[in-house]
């Protein structure tokens, strides 16, 4: 039986030449070969089948970064079951929304979350609940069957492999459906674009609940049969120690600014590295220049989003221009258009649209919303403003969507504003992103409070922290008498940013 459309088949085509070779290692003595990866994911896929899961079912996982999660991802892909990973920082209210919307047949999380699942009052019943704690304990390990033979399911490239949520300027987070073909085509293109070879070793410190750590980083390694050095999370000292073991690193700009704070970062330490890649948030020119001075490496900046995986990249060979996200990938078309969807000439700023095999299949259960975000000629409207220079390099000038990127994570002000507005004593609020040396942008809440009640910053932060994942919680709260509004009554966030930056 063939399984050509299945993403795992594409991964395996890449790593099968190195089956006995090392896939992953860490500083604690963990070592996994590709053969082990193949058989562990087969056992887990057999286990999912024995539990009665079928193609198209969703498996939601909310655990800390661990190898089991990686195995589960590949077991789901092999089974044509939809993998739905969640940031472990999400709180109850956020979690119940995702579970209600994705309606998984299986949910894996730590003991505390699983024990409290009844309190979420979900409308649908999740048949399979398993625990996986930070120390590796829990009944997750009972899922794997003994049989390590599993024929990867033959599926269409169009079938959905993963569901990842992103919020929007209005309304609730939307499930982004990424197909086997989306993820496979993009990983293959990136291997070629960035010159991945079996001899490479990728420093992997990114979380694996997002496109960057899961599909881009892991995808390049699997498709090239290279190795990765596994870090549980990004800790600058530990990453510095790993640099001499590795040839490529991927990170968000915060990783690079944090590394630059350490004297140990120098050209001697990085001499075996061939490539540092940055994405998920804008890389400042000063970070690019300082990194170059200290290490002789020009960080390669690229541009993507959850809906599209990667769209553009500065070249491996050829000029890497600071402040640009480079050129469209080989199989991706990028255009800049005006509000009426007319193509704009080179040099003019407009809405960035993309088309290619990387572009997602649509929003989960929202066909109308999906339609709105695509032009008639099949281009996806990214919501970013951009411009193309005379050499074809693209720069992201701004976002037409009201969004903050903090430490590489997207934050949508509306979600925070609507919670702040419910706090007693708040008349109205506006949440903005202000420049931050460490996070790129930090979340700041501007509040107009009623005259009778006095509110303080700590109370507001504590209230939001109870309800939302930590990365969305305002780092600062400012109180003002009234919000600046334009003639249409819209809050002028640019004025607030100027006032408070």
Instruction: Please give the residue ranges that form the binding site for ligand MCA (CB under 6 A).
Output: 89, 206-207, 210-213, 233-234, 252, 254, 279-280, 304-306, 406-409, 439, 470-471
Q: How far is CA 481 from the centre of its chain?
A: 37
Task: Give the up-direction half-sphere exposure of residue 69: CA atoms within 13 A in the CB hemisphere.
Answer: 29
Residue 62, strand partner residues = 109
Per DSSP, the three-state class of 255 is: helix
Residue 168 or 225: which CB sits closer to ligand MCA? 168
Query: Cβ of residue 89: shortest distance to ligand MCA, in angstroms?
Result: 6
Query: Cβ of residue 469: shortest distance to ligand MCA, in angstroms?
Result: 7
The closest alpha carbon to 224, from 197, 199, 200, 247, belongs to 197
Query: Cβ of residue 253: shortest distance to ligand MCA, in angstroms?
Result: 9
Residue 280 or 353: which CB sits closer to ligand MCA? 280
Query: Cβ of residue 485: shortest distance to ligand MCA, in angstroms?
Result: 28
Cα separation, 272 vs 23, whole angstroms: 19
Residue 152 or 182: which CB sits closer to ligand MCA? 182
Residue 12 or 212: which CB sits closer to ligand MCA? 212
Nearest residue to ligand MCA by CB is 470
Query: Cβ of residue 176: shortest distance to ligand MCA, in angstroms?
Result: 10
Let me know: does 206 contact 228? Beta carbons within 8 Å: no
Residue 6 or 257: which CB sits closer to ligand MCA? 257
| Run of H or E including 22 | strand 22-25
Cα separation, 113 vs 300, whole angstroms: 39
Cα separation, 218 vs 212, whole angstroms: 9
Cα separation, 137 vs 332, whole angstroms: 43
Residue 35 or 401: which CB sits closer to ligand MCA? 401
Query: Cβ of residue 406: shortest distance to ligand MCA, in angstroms?
Result: 4
Residue 273 or 409: which CB sits closer to ligand MCA? 409
Residue 108, strand partner residues = 61, 130
Cα separation, 252 vs 465, whole angstroms: 24
Query: Cβ of residue 210: shortest distance to ligand MCA, in angstroms?
Result: 4
- In angstroms, what CA-CA distances link 365 with 81, 173, 175? 17, 12, 8
């Amino acid at each position: 039986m063939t399984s050509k459309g299945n993403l795992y088949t594409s991964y395996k085509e890449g790593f099968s030449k190195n089956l006995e070779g090392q896939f992953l290692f860490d500083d604690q003595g963990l070592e996994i070969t590709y053969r082990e990866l193949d058989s562990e994911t087969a056992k887990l896929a057999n286990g999912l089948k024995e539990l009665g899961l079928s193609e198209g079912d969703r498996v939601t996982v909310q655990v800390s970064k661990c190898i089991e999660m990686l195995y589960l991802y590949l077991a789901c892909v092999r089974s044509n079951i939809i993998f739905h990973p969640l940031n472990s920082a999400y709180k109850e209210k956020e979690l119940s929304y995702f579970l209600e919307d994705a309606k998984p047949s299986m949910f894996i999380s730590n003991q505390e979350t699983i024990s409290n699942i009844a309190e979420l009052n979900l409308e649908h019943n999740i048949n399979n609940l398993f625990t996986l704690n930070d120390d590796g304990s829990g009944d997750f390990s009972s899922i794997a069957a003994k049989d390590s033979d599993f024929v990867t399911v033959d599926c269409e490239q169009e079938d959905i492999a993963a569901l990842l949520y992103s919020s929007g300027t209005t309304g609730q987070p939307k499930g982004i459906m990424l197909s086997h073909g989306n993820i496979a085509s993009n990983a293959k293109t990136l291997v070629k674009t960035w010159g991945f070879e079996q001899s490479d070793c990728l420093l992997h410190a990114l979380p694996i609940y997002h496109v960057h750590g899961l599909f881009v980083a892991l995808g390049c390694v699997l498709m090239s049969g290279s190795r990765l050095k596994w870090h549980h999370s990004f800790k600058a000292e530990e990453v510095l120690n790993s640099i001499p073991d590795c040839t490529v690193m991927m990170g968000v700009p915060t990783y690079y600014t944090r590394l630059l704070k350490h004297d140990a970062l120098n050209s001697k330490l990085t001499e075996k590295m061939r490539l540092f890649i940055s994405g998920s948030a804008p890389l400042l020119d000063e970070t690019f220049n300082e990194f170059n001075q200290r290490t002789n490496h020009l960080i390669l900046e690229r541009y993507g989003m959850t809906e599209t995986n990667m769209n553009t990249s500065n070249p491996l060979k050829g000029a890497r221009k600071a402040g640009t996200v480079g050129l469209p990938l080989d199989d991706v078309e990028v255009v800049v258009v005006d509000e009426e969807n007319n193509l704009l000439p080179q040099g003019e700023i407009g809405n960035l649209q993309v088309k290619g095999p990387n572009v997602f299949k649509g929003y989960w259960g929202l066909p109308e919303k999906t339609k709105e975000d695509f032009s008639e000629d099949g281009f996806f409207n990214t919501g970013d403003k951009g411009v193309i220079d005379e050499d074809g390099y693209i720069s992201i000038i701004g976002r037409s969507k009201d969004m903050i990127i903090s430490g590489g994570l997207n934050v949508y002000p509306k979600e925070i504003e609507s919670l702040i507005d419910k706090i007693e004593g708040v008349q109205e609020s506006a949440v903005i992103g202000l420049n931050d040396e460490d996070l790129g942008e930090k979340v700041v809440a501007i509040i107009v409070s009623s005259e009778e009640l006095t509110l303080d910053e700590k109370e507001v932060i504590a209230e939001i922290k109870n309800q939302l994942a930590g990365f969305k919680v305002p780092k600062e709260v400012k109180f003002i008498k009234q919000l600046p509004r334009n003639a249409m009554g819209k809050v002028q966030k640019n004025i607030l940013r100027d006032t408070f930056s």
